[in-house]
Structure 1
Amino acid sequence: MTYRYITTPIYYVNDRPHLGHAYASIHADIMARYLRAAGHQVVLLTGADEHGEKIAKAAMQANEAPDAFAQRHARSFEDAWRRLAVGSDVFVRTSSAAHSRVVSACLTRLYEAGEIYLADYEGLYSVGQERFVTEKELVNGKLPEDREPPVVRRESNYFFRMEVHREWMRRLLRDTPDLIQPAQYRHEILRLLEEPIGDLSISRPVERLAWGIPIPWDASHVTYVWFDALLSYVSPLGYPDGADFTHYWPSATHVIGKDILRTHTLFWLAMTHALGITPYRRLLVSGHLLGADGRKMSKSLGNGVDPLAAAQTFGVDALRYALVREVSFGFDGIITNEVIEQRLNRDLADDLGNLVSRTLAMVHRYRAGIVPAPGAYTAGEEAIMARAASLPEVVLMLVEEMKLGRAVEQVMAFVTALNGYVATSAPWTLAKDPALAKRLDTVLHTLLEGLHAVSSLLSPVMPASMGQLRALLGDGGEPGWNVPWGEGVTAGAGVRQGILFPKRREAGVAGPTMSR
Structure 2
Amino acid sequence: MSTFYLTTPIYYVNALPHIGHIFTTTVGDTLARYLRMAGREVYFLTGTDEHGQNIERAARNEGIAPIALADRVVAKYRELRDRLEFSYDDFIRTTEERHKRGVDEIIRRIEAAGDFYTAPHEGWYCPPCETFYTEKELGPEKTCPVHGTPVEWKSEENVFFRLSKYQQPLLDLYREHPEFVRPETRLNEVRAFVEAGLRDLSVSRANLEWAIPFPGRPGQTVYVWLDALVNYISALGFGADDVRLYDKFWAHSDVRLHLVGKDILRQHAVYWPAFLMSAGLPLPSVVWAHGWWQRDGRKVSKSAGNIVRPDELIDRFGPDSVRYFLLREMVFGQDANFSDEGFVDRYNGDLANGLGNTVSRLVTLSRNAFDGKTPPHACSDNELAPVAKQVAEEYRTAMEDFAFNRALESLWRLLAETNQYLVARAPWKLIQSEGPTPELARILWNGLEAVRIVATGLLPVMPRVAPQVLAAIGVPAPPTSFDALRWGGLPTDVPIPAPAPLFPRIDKAAYLGEAKEKETMETTTAAAP
Q: TM over 0.5: same fold?
A: yes
Partners of 1:376 and 1:138 in 2: how far apart?
Answer: 64
- Secondary structure of the corresponding residue to residue 4 of structure 1: strand
Aligned to 1:123: 123
Shift of 1:224: 0.6
Aligned to 2:440: 440
Contact 1:124 1:132 in 2 (8 A): yes
| Residues 1:34 and 2:34 are matched in the alignment | yes
| Residues 1:333 and 2:332 are matched in the alignment | no
- Evaluate the alpha carbon distance shift between residue 107 and residue 334 of structure 1 in structure 2; reply closer, same or farther with a 3 A threshold: same
Aligned to 1:370: 373
| Residues 1:185 and 2:189 are matched in the alignment | no
Shift of 1:229: 0.4
Shift of 1:162: 1.0
Partners of 1:335 and 1:497 in 2: how far apart?
Answer: 32
Contact 1:34 1:396 in 2 (8 A): no
TM-score by length of 1: 0.93
Q: Which amino acid aligns with 1:447?
A: G
Contact 1:284 1:402 in 2 (8 A): no
- Secondary structure of the corresponding residue to residue 254 of structure 1: strand
Unaligned runs of 5+ in 2: 512-529
Aligned to 1:87: 87
Partners of 1:488 and 1:214 in 2: how far apart?
Answer: 60
Q: Which amino acid aligns with 1:286?
A: H
Aligned to 1:263: 267
Aligned to 2:99: 99
- Evaluate the alpha carbon distance shift between residue 40 and residue 376 of structure 1 in structure 2; reply closer, same or farther with a 3 A threshold: closer
Unaligned runs of 5+ in 1: 510-516
Aligned to 1:226: 225
Aligned to 2:325: 322
| Residues 1:217 and 2:216 are matched in the alignment | yes
- Evaluate the alpha carbon distance shift between residue 37 and residue 392 of structure 1 in structure 2; reply closer, same or farther with a 3 A threshold: farther
Q: Which amino acid aligns with 1:338?
A: E
Q: What CA deviation, in whole Å up to 9, does each residue of 1:8-64 have, x standing for no partner?
A: 111011000011111111111111111111121111111000001111111111111
Aligned to 1:74: 74
Contact 2:120 2:157 in 1 (8 A): yes
Deviates more, 1:21-30 or 1:424-433: 424-433
Shift of 1:302: 4.4
Shift of 1:256: 0.8
Aligned to 2:471: 471
Contact 2:113 2:278 in 1 (8 A): no
Q: Which amino acid aligns with 1:143?
A: C
Partners of 2:13 and 2:227 in 1: how far apart?
Answer: 14
Count how many residue pairs are aligned between Structure 1 and Structure 2. 503
What root-mean-square deviation, in Å, do the aligned CA atoms of Structure 1 and Structure 2 show? 1.9
Deviates more, 1:122-131 or 1:190-199: 122-131
Partners of 2:3 and 2:230 in 1: how far apart?
Answer: 20
Shift of 1:238: 2.0
Shift of 1:277: 2.1
- Evaluate the alpha carbon distance shift between residue 79 and residue 432 of structure 1 in structure 2; reply closer, same or farther with a 3 A threshold: closer
Partners of 2:211 and 2:146 in 1: how far apart?
Answer: 24
Consecutive aligned runs of 4 or more in structure 1 exceeding 6 Å deviation: none
Deviates more, 1:176-185 or 1:294-303: 294-303
Contact 1:314 1:340 in 2 (8 A): no
- Evaluate the alpha carbon distance shift between residue 300 and residue 203 of structure 1 in structure 2; reply closer, same or farther with a 3 A threshold: closer
Q: Which amino acid aligns with 1:105?
A: E
Partners of 2:176 and 2:184 in 1: how far apart?
Answer: 13
Partners of 1:395 and 1:235 in 2: how far apart?
Answer: 35
- Evaluate the alpha carbon distance shift between residue 388 and residue 245 of structure 1 in structure 2; reply closer, same or farther with a 3 A threshold: farther
Aligned to 1:286: 290
Partners of 1:429 and 1:96 in 2: how far apart?
Answer: 65
- Secondary structure of the corresponding residue to residue 195 of structure 2: coil
Contact 1:455 1:479 in 2 (8 A): no
Contact 1:456 1:466 in 2 (8 A): yes
Shift of 1:148: 3.8
| Residues 1:274 and 2:275 are matched in the alignment | no
Aligned to 1:408: 408
Contact 2:456 2:466 in 1 (8 A): yes
Contact 2:181 2:287 in 1 (8 A): yes
| Residues 1:492 and 2:494 are matched in the alignment | yes
- Secondary structure of the corresponding residue to residue 10 of structure 2: strand
- Evaluate the alpha carbon distance shift between residue 273 and residue 425 of structure 1 in structure 2; reply closer, same or farther with a 3 A threshold: same
Deviates more, 1:232-241 or 1:432-441: 432-441
Deviates more, 1:193-202 or 1:96-105: 193-202
Partners of 1:237 and 1:461 in 2: how far apart?
Answer: 26
- Evaluate the alpha carbon distance shift between residue 158 and residue 418 of structure 1 in structure 2; reply closer, same or farther with a 3 A threshold: same
Contact 1:50 1:94 in 2 (8 A): yes
Contact 2:174 2:180 in 1 (8 A): yes
- Secondary structure of the corresponding residue to residue 491 of structure 1: coil
Contact 1:318 1:343 in 2 (8 A): no
Contact 1:449 1:489 in 2 (8 A): no
Partners of 1:366 and 1:11 in 2: how far apart?
Answer: 53
TM-score by length of 2: 0.91
Partners of 2:447 and 2:229 in 1: how far apart?
Answer: 49
Partners of 1:160 and 1:508 in 2: how far apart?
Answer: 57
- Evaluate the alpha carbon distance shift between residue 84 and residue 137 of structure 1 in structure 2; reply closer, same or farther with a 3 A threshold: same
Partners of 1:306 and 1:69 in 2: how far apart?
Answer: 18
